[in-house]
């Protein structure tokens, strides 16, 4: 229908190739990686899932959430509650016993059902996101204010979880699971199945989000990001679009949380607090916001490097991570996916100088 | 245009190859492992066990060295607490290596950073066990990190030596606890308080104050269960989030309730805030005494002795313990890591963990985890340590027999022993010997 | 009665500490639009500077002059952190003007690096600072209510800092230049204001006050590589809820969080108090999306 | 004249203590090009803002008529106001720089701007034609796949006006549409307005008097938030009061 410009076409193809490589690599991973490494990549894929969600709200709709740990945590806790009940097999979960609880609190009961858990993993984060989102976006809290607010939210939830040891395991979080839907959680087979489940979720999320951003809604989101009031005076309701995309990203984070728990074996308030929430944003920034392959790449690369470097130089990985964040945001605002544009940029700068 | 795409694809395939090579490290792959293990399960379970045993034997103790893991936080909020633990563990390993190693093998350690995050602890423990194939792990500080590592060591048949006093109500087949459980710290300390700190009305009024965290909460739950039996009165119970820096409100509540003793189970940094602000509020130990379970010489050094002077602390070891072994240990620790360093109970626990493992391995005659655990459970694994003779209790509790001390901090920041139990106290992590604790333990498996 | 007074004094004291920490942030965030997540680490460096000054002072001056170290360290902390501020601004921050959210991420990276740097130099364990004897006293007011000199001193320090900032910004030529440059950079530049110097200066002042805050909190809390993290969230809340860009907003915000926190805590628990005060902040923001004292303008989309 | 499309009834707007618009009443009719002129700070933009919902009225009412229905604009949300046919162009050109010029037009042209409709992707041929036509008219057809960042100030103004036009409003509010345009471009804008006039009413705030003279059918002069006088350009130009406070002071 329309002639795409050369630059546009080239860029899209570059990213398509990149994402194909990533997915092929991940699909093949269990065949050449030790189960430990594979398990770690499983975890990174959960992170990539969150990163896609964050990119949808930050890269496309311009909402920087520093509290996505909340949604990740809600999904993860829902799953963990189910696994914990499975592990304790009818008895009171261990942490409740030593918190002097006498019987299972009512809101834990439904989590005995697998179907309910799977629904809750998505619906709980989405409901919370819908409430928070509609309040803040209808009241036009934007930019930095929203970021700080979301940060407060993460902090509040984490503190709350820590304070309610009898219900949520306190700072220990929920851990020591034995089976997931009947399969032993430590066995390599289960891990492989979980790995592929995560990969499938990631691919689905990628394809789904790509579908969305190619639709008009993607352009509306960008419009809201670039000039929210203009979008409003073009007849769009920014709040509705923002709440939608915020809920979408909360759902992705919730699913990621649910897949994270059986693979890592623990969810604790530490993982939903401010620092991990900011790290989530950093994966997106490093990979390249505003593209869908960027966050996937960013989450995989940053976390892989983090694991690798903290294994090799336990005392110094913080230097490295801090350095990477600084350098990427300063000199590569487009993230890793924009590396290929650098030669062109340098050329342009040279030309300018010559002029 | 098409040609260029082709080249790109070729390039990318090459990249994938390179990347995968770098990641692989070891051969096999998870898929391989999975098929392996599934064939194993079809065989008899005995055969499986034996094949596993030989597997670990080969990998952990190949050549002249045996690999062990040290897993503590080197970054994040817990780094300040866990750094001395790493140092003590390393010191013990070096000593053993100098003395000829274990079963003729030198110990080689792999140091991993838990980054004050339980999930990272789990990840690193898995790495140590499956990638590095270590014979044992020394590490963890917080309950959260131990709870996270527990399923990992159980699932991969590893062995963890845990060096920090904790809330009890736990015993894992694959964990050895070298530190006290509540009946080796909190409960005797309460005995001491009942004897010495009853108020004028003959009733001991206790204020429970701790970090919002599992150890303090559970310890306080235990103390609350004791209440009926002991007849003391709990006038308040407060928790502050980890890393909280303002204790003034809680101190107001303390002044409001006028207890005889504050049971302080604050962890880490907040101790400094608490003791500083306690003094600021015009309080002192002779007005309201405190008894701390989670604050040792190192914390006192970090806040300044003037704030801790006169307060009470309960441990199994103080740096001030006046024995040759203790003095020599402290001296050596200082000579290696610096004059300003101090030792204390957790440091010694980390140190003796290595020696207990050595004793157990030597008794078992092998590095195999199952054999070592069996040796430990015999009740005959013991060693001389700075705190005296330490024995791993017979049976499956996996705790050690040790004395309990209550001491008072002096002007130099040293805790001087005021009272000690006559004998070493038998560990009882599930509090089975205590009738009042039945409610806490009924639901355990 | 005395308990009530005590609690009020506590709240006031908590607010003053928060305000001291937030002042610097109000300058860098409010005037420059830079979200400095490393502000907490600057506070931490201020505290460590106090520690270093104390040790040097001990070895140079006789025992009788020991107390003087603290006064000296207030100024030295200011200079040290201001110096680091200039380095950061010239080296990194200046590339980020107008990219508020990017500045947040970069300064988060900086905070990681600074934390690790301090950990590598001083070790991960806490260090201790001796309280100067002239502050180590209490005034007994009534009943159990006593005010510690330290907390009173911090209160006075905050008031002095606020007045200093006010004078600096509204009474001096340099302050006028800074405000001009922050409001309209090209205009100020064309009027002969050296905007680059203004940026560096402003950031240095903001960082310097973080150092002073660090010096003050060394009296009340621990000094370790991660202490910055325990202040950063509260300070941001204070600045944001009060309204960016005005000192009065910063004071109000600190008062809300500093007063509200201990009050909620008194009636519930510390954790719940913290959760409640944050919920209050979230609710306030619903009604004043840009903080209580906000400046409105006619630009459609910033 | 034709039917009234907008009635402003005793509208007042205050910011704190400052009264920006005081008790203004006027009626705009179909197919009219109404100009609001007056010195800076007279309240022209504020009045436009009130019509499109950006500012709240402190008293009075603004009524909008469309398809036989009557709307109280102050009670309607901004985006709804747009959807019932009131389009607005702001003083500083504001377009979406993250999407192409064609996509900018597309967002403006679609009729259903709800969430669900945006997930469905269809763009009817009729709308596509309309966009192409409009692009050709404003001379941006060749640039349609570029991003608006390549455009000059005047071109951005046009793009914004073009976006307004394809959305087929009944009432168009233009704030300084020819600011930053050259003579030729201004002329073309005038032509464009003439075409638009056939289908809707236009309210324009403008300082360029020549432009006003060319296209205005009716002029309202605001001063200090009040209506000084109303009439054709000729009438206004010869009004002594206007000359005193505005033209005289402006020194044209």
Is it the case that residue D224 has pLDDT exceeding 70? yes
CB contact under 8 A, C220 and B277: yes
Distances in Å between the alpha carbon of D86 and those of D60, D67, D83, D108, D171? 19, 13, 7, 12, 5
Question: What are the chain C neighbours of A318 within 8 Å (beta carbons)?
Answer: 112-113, 115-116
Task: List B71's β-bridge partners, or say none.
Answer: B112, B139
Closest CA to D13 of D226, D173, D176: D226
pLDDT in tens, B169-200: 888 999 999 999 999 999 999 999 999 998 88
In a domain, C259, yes or no: no
pLDDT in tens, D21-58: 999 999 999 888 999 988 888 888 899 999 988 888 99
Right CATH for B55-179+323-401 from 3.50.50.60, 3.40.367.20, 3.40.50.970, 3.40.50.2300: 3.40.50.2300
Regions in chain C scoring below 70 on pLDDT: 245, 295-302
Mean pLDDT for chain B overall: 86
Is it the case that residue B431 has pLDDT exceeding 70? yes
Q: What is the predicted pLDDT for the residue at B443?
A: 46
For B303, which of C115, C222, C261 is closest by C-beta distance? C222
Q: What is the predicted pLDDT for the residue at D234?
A: 86
Q: Distance (Å) from the C-alpha of residue A63 to the closest C-alpha of chain B?
A: 28
CB B86 within 8 Å of CB B72? yes
CA closest to A135 among chain C residues:
C286
CB contact under 8 A, B150 and A176: yes
Q: What is the predicted pLDDT for the residue at A26?
A: 93
For A265, which of B131, B152, B218 is closest by C-beta distance? B152
Structural domain harbouring C126: 2-225
CB B254 within 8 Å of CB C266? no
CB D155 within 8 Å of CB D147? no
More confident residue, C297 or D192: D192
B301 interfaces chain C, CB cutoff of 8 Å: yes
pLDDT band at B12 (very low <50, low <70, confident <90, very high): low
User: Which of C298, C299, C301, C302 to mutate: most D Cβ within 10 Å?
Assistant: C298
- For tokens 């009470």, the residue is B312
* Cα–Cα distance for residue pair B218/D110, rounded to 1 Å: 62
Kindly report, as residue ranges, where domains of CATH 3.40.50.2300 are found in chain B: 55-179+323-401, 183-322+404-441
C108 interfaces chain A, CB cutoff of 8 Å: yes
Start-to-end CA distance of chain D, whole Å, equals: 32
Beta strands in A136-294 (DSSP E): 174-175, 179-180, 183-184, 266-267
What are the residue boundaries of the structural domains of chain D, listed by start?
Answer: 4-250
- For tokens 């009557």, the residue is D70
In a domain, A227, yes or no: yes
The CATH architecture that domain B183-322+404-441 belongs to is 3-Layer(aba) Sandwich (3.40)
Beta strands in chain A (DSSP E): 174-175, 179-180, 183-184, 266-267
CB D144 within 8 Å of CB D102? yes
Structural domains of chain C, count: 1
How much is the CA Rg of chain A, to the nearest whole Å? 21
Mean predicted confidence (pLDDT) in B316-343: 93
Closest CA to C154 of C206, C219, C208, C234: C219
Is it the case that residue A159 has pLDDT exceeding 60? yes
Closest CA to C211 of C46, C73, C47: C46
For D145, which of A5, A234, A238 is closest by C-beta distance? A5
For D121, which of A215, A232, A241 is closest by C-beta distance? A215
* Cα–Cα distance for residue pair B139/B73, rounded to 1 Å: 9
A244 interfaces chain D, CB cutoff of 8 Å: yes
Is it the case that residue B59 has pLDDT exceeding 70? no
CB contact under 8 A, C270 and B243: no
Task: Provide CB contacts within 8 A for C238, sequence distance 6+.
Answer: C18, C19, C22, C250, C253, C254, C256, C257, C258
Q: How many alpha carbons fall within 13 Å on the CB side of residue A75?
A: 29
- For tokens 């110096």, the residue is C83
Q: What is the predicted pLDDT for the residue at B174?
A: 95
Is it the case that residue B135 has pLDDT exceeding 90? yes
Give me the DSSP letters along A80-111. HHHHHHHHHTTSPPHHHHHTT--S--GGGGGG
Q: What is the predicted pLDDT for the residue at B25?
A: 45
In a domain, A8, yes or no: no
CB contact under 8 A, D79 and A235: yes
Point out the least confidently predicted range of B65-74, B98-107, C94-103. Answer: C94-103
Q: Distance (Å) from the C-alpha of residue B276 to the closest C-alpha of chain C?
A: 6
Point out the least confidently predicted range of A310-324, B64-78, B336-350, D79-93. Answer: A310-324
* Cα–Cα distance for residue pair D221/B167, rounded to 1 Å: 81
Is it the case that residue B1 has pLDDT exceeding 50? no
Chains B and D are in contact, defined as 3 or more C-beta pairs closer than 8 angstroms:
no
Q: What is the predicted pLDDT for the residue at D249?
A: 52
User: Which pair of tokens denotes residue B400?
Assistant: 């050690």
Q: Distance (Å) from the C-alpha of residue B128 to the closest C-alpha of chain A?
A: 10
Task: List C223's β-bridge partners, or say none.
Answer: C127
CB B419 within 8 Å of CB B406? yes
In a domain, C6, yes or no: yes
Q: What is the predicted pLDDT for the residue at B19?
A: 52
Structural domains of chain A, count: 1
pLDDT in tens, B237-250: 999 988 888 898 99
CA closest to D141 among chain A residues:
A2
More confident residue, B25 or A71: A71
Question: What are the chain C neighbours of D92 within 8 Å (beta carbons)?
Answer: 299-300
Q: What is the predicted pLDDT for the residue at A154?
A: 93
Sheet holding D4-15, edge to edge: D18-29, D4-15, D59-66, D69-72
CA closest to C276 among chain A residues:
A156
* Whether domain D4-250 has CATH 3.40.50.300: yes
* Cα–Cα distance for residue pair A317/B61, rounded to 1 Å: 29
Q: Distance (Å) from the C-alpha of residue B143 to the closest C-alpha of chain A?
A: 7
Question: What are the chain B neighbours of A97 within 8 Å (beta carbons)?
Answer: 169, 440-444
Chains C–D, number of C-beta pairs less than 8 Å apart = 6
| Chain centroid to CA B105 | 26
* Cα–Cα distance for residue pair A243/C287, rounded to 1 Å: 18
Q: Is D112 exposed, middle or buried (0-12, 13-18, 19+ CB in 10 A)?
A: exposed
Q: What is the predicted pLDDT for the residue at A2?
A: 40
Is it the case that residue B445 has pLDDT exceeding 50? no
Is it the case that residue B444 has pLDDT exceeding 50? no
A98 interfaces chain B, CB cutoff of 8 Å: yes
Question: What are the chain A neighbours of D96 within 8 Å (beta carbons)?
Answer: 219, 222-223, 226-227, 230-231
A320 interfaces chain D, CB cutoff of 8 Å: no
Is it the case that residue B5 has pLDDT exceeding 60? no
CB contact under 8 A, B241 and A162: yes
For A235, which of D83, D103, D104 is closest by C-beta distance? D83
Of how many residues is chain D composed? 252
């Amino acid at each position: 229908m329309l002639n795409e410009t050369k630059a546009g076409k080239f860029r899209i193809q570059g990213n398509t190739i990149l994402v194909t490589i990533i997915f092929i690599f991940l699909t093949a991973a269990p065949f050449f990686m030790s189960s430990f490494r594979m398990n770690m990549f499983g975890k990174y894929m959960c992170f990539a899932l969150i990163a896609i969600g964050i990119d949808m709200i930050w890269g496309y709709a311009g909402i920087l959430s520093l509290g996505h740990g909340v949604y990740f945590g809600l999904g993860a806790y829902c799953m963990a509650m189910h696994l914990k009940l499975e592990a304790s097999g009818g008895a009171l979960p261990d942490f409740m016993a030593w918190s002097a609880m006498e019987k299972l609190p009512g809101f834990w009961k439904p989590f005995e059902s697998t179907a309910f858990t799977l629904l809750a993993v998505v619906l709980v984060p989405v409901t919370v996101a819908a409430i928070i989102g509609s309040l803040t976006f209808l009241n036009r809290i934007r930019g930095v204010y929203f970021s700080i607010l979301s940060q407060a939210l993460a902090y509040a939830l984490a503190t709350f979880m820590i304070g309610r040891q009898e219900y949520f395991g306190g700072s220990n979080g929920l851990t020591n699971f034995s089976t997931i839907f009947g399969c032993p959680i430590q066995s390599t087979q289960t891990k492989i199945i979980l790995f592929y489940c995560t990969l499938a979720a990631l691919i689905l999320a990628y394809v789904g989000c790509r579908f969305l951003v190619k639709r008009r809604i993607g352009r509306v989101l960008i419009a809201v990001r670039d000039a929210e009031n203009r979008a409003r005076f073009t007849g769009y309701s920014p709040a509705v679009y923002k709440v939608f995309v915020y809920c979408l990203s909360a759902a992705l984070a919730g699913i990621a949380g649910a897949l994270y728990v059986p693979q890592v074996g623990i969810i604790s308030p530490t993982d939903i607090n401010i620092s991990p929430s900011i790290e989530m944003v950093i994966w997106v920034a490093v990979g390249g916001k505003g593209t869908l392959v960027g966050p996937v790449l960013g989450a995989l690369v940053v976390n892989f490097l983090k694991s690798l470097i903290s294994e090799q130089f336990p005392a110094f990985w913080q230097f490295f991570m801090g350095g990477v964040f600084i350098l990427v945001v300063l000199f590569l605002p487009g993230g890793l996916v924009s590396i290929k544009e650098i030669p062109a940029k340098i050329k342009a700068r040279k030309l300018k100088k010559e002029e | 245009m098409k040609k260029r795409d082709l080249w790109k694809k070729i390039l990318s395939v090459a990249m994938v190859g390179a990347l995968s090579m770098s990641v692989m490290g070891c051969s096999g792959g998870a898929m391989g492992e999975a098929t392996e293990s599934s064939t194993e399960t079809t065989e008899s379970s005995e055969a499986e066990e034996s094949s596993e045993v030989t597997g670990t034997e080969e990998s952990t103790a190949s050549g002249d060295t045996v690999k062990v893991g040290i897993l503590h936080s080197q970054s994040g909020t817990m780094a300040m607490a866990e750094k001395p633990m790493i140092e003590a563990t390393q010191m013990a390993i070096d000593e053993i290596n100098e003395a000829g190693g274990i079963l003729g093998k030198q110990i080689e350690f792999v140091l991993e950073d838990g980054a004050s995050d339980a999930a990272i602890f789990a990840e690193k423990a898995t790495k140590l066990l499956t990638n590095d194939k270590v014979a044992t792990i020394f590490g963890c500080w917080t309950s959260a990190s131990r709870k996270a590592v527990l399923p990992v060591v159980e699932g991969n048949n590893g062995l963890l030596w845990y060096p920090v006093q904790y809330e009890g109500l736990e015993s894992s087949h694959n964990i050895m606890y070298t530190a006290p459980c509540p009946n080796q710290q909190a409960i005797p300390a309460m005995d001491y308080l009942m004897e010495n700190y009853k108020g004028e009305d003959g009733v001991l009024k206790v204020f429970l104050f701790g970090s919002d965290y599992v150890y303090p909460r559970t310890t306080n739950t235990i103390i609350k269960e004791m209440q009926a039996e002991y007849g003391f009165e709990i006038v308040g119970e407060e928790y502050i989030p980890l890393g909280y820096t303002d204790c003034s409100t809680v101190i107001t509540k303390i002044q409001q309730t006028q207890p005889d003793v504050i049971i302080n189970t604050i962890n880490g940094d907040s101790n400094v805030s608490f003791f500083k602000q306690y003094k600021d509020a015009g309080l002192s130990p002779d007005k309201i005494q405190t008894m701390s379970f989670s604050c040792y010489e190192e914390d006192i050094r970090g806040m300044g002795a003037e704030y801790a002077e006169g307060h009470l602390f309960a441990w199994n070891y103080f740096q001030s313990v006046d024995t040759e072994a203790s003095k020599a240990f402290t001296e050596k620790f200082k000579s290696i890591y610096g004059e300003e360093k101090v030792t204390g109970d957790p440091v010694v626990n980390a140190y003796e963990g290595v020696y207990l493992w050595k004793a157990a391995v030597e008794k078992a005659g092998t590095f195999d985890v199952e054999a070592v655990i069996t040796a430990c459970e015999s009740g005959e694994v013991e060693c001389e340590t700075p705190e005296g003779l330490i024995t791993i209790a017979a049976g499956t509790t996996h705790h050690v027999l040790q004395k309990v001390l209550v001491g008072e901090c002096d002007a130099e920041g040293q805790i001087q022993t005021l009272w000690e139990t006559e004998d070493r106290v038998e560990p009882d992590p599930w509090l089975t010997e205590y009738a009042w604790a039945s409610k806490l333990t009924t639901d355990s498996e | 009665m005395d308990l009530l007074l005590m609690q009020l004094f506590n709240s006031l004291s908590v607010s003053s500490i928060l305000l001291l920490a937030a002042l610097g942030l109000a300058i860098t965030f409010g005037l420059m639009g830079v979200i400095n997540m490393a502000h907490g680490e600057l506070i931490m460096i201020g505290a460590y500077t106090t520690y270093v000054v104390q040790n040097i002072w001990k070895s140079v001056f006789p025992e009788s002059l020991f107390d003087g170290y603290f006064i000296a360290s207030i100024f030295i902390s200011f200079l040290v952190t201001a110096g680091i501020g200039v380095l950061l601004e010239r080296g990194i921050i200046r590339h980020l003007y107008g990219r508020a959210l990017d500045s947040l991420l970069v300064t988060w990276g900086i905070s990681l690096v600074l934390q690790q740097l301090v950990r590598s130099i001083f070790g991960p364990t806490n260090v201790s600072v001796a309280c100067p004897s002239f502050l180590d006293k209490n005034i007994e007011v009534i009943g159990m209510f006593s005010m510690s000199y330290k907390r009173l001193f911090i209160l006075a320090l905050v008031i002095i800092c606020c007045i200093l900032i006010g004078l600096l910004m509204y009474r001096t030529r340099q302050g006028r230049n800074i405000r001009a440059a922050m409001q309209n950079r090209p205009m100020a530049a064309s009027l002969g204001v050296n905007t680059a110097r203004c940026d560096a200066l402003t950031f240095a002042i903001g960082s310097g006050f973080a150092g002073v805050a660090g010096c003050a909190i060394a009296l009340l809390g621990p000094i370790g590589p991660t202490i910055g993290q325990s202040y950063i969230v509260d300070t941001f809340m204070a600045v944001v809820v009060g309204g960016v860009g005005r000192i009065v907003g910063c004071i109000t915000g600190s008062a809300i969080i500093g007063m509200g926190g201990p009050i909620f805590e008194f009636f519930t628990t510390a954790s719940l108090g913290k959760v409640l005060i944050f919920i209050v902040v979230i609710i306030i923001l619903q009604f004043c999306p840009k903080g209580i004292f906000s400046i409105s303008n006619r630009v459609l989309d910033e | 004249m034709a039917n009234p499309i907008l009635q402003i009834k005793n509208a007042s707007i205050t910011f704190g203590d400052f009264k920006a618009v005081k008790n203004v009443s006027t009626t705009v009719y179909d197919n009219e090009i109404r100009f609001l002129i007056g010195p800076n700070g007279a309240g022209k933009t504020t009045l436009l803002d009130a019509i499109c919902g950006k500012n709240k009225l402190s008293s009075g009412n603004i009524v909008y008529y469309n398809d036989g229905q009557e709307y109280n604009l102050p009670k309607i949300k901004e985006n709804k106001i747009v959807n019932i046919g009131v389009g607005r162009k702001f003083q500083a050109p504001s377009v979406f720089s993250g999407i192409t010029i064609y996509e900018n037009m597309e967002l403006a042209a679609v009729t259903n701007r709800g969430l669900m409709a945006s997930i469905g992707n269809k763009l009817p041929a009729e709308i596509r034609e309309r966009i192409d036509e409009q692009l050709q008219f404003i001379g941006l057809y060749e640039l349609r796949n570029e991003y608006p960042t390549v455009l000059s100030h005047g071109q951005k103004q046009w793009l914004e006006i073009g976006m307004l036009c394809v959305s087929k409003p009944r009432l168009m509010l233009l704030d300084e549409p020819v600011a930053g345009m050259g003579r030729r471009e201004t002329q073309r804008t005038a032509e464009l307005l003439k075409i638009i006039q056939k289908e809707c009413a236009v309210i324009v705030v403008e300082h360029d008097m020549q432009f006003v003279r060319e296209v205005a059918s009716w002029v309202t002069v605001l001063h200090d938030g009040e209506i000084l006088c109303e009439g054709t350009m000729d009438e206004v130009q010869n009004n002594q009061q206007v000359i005193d406070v505005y033209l005289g002071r402006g020194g044209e």
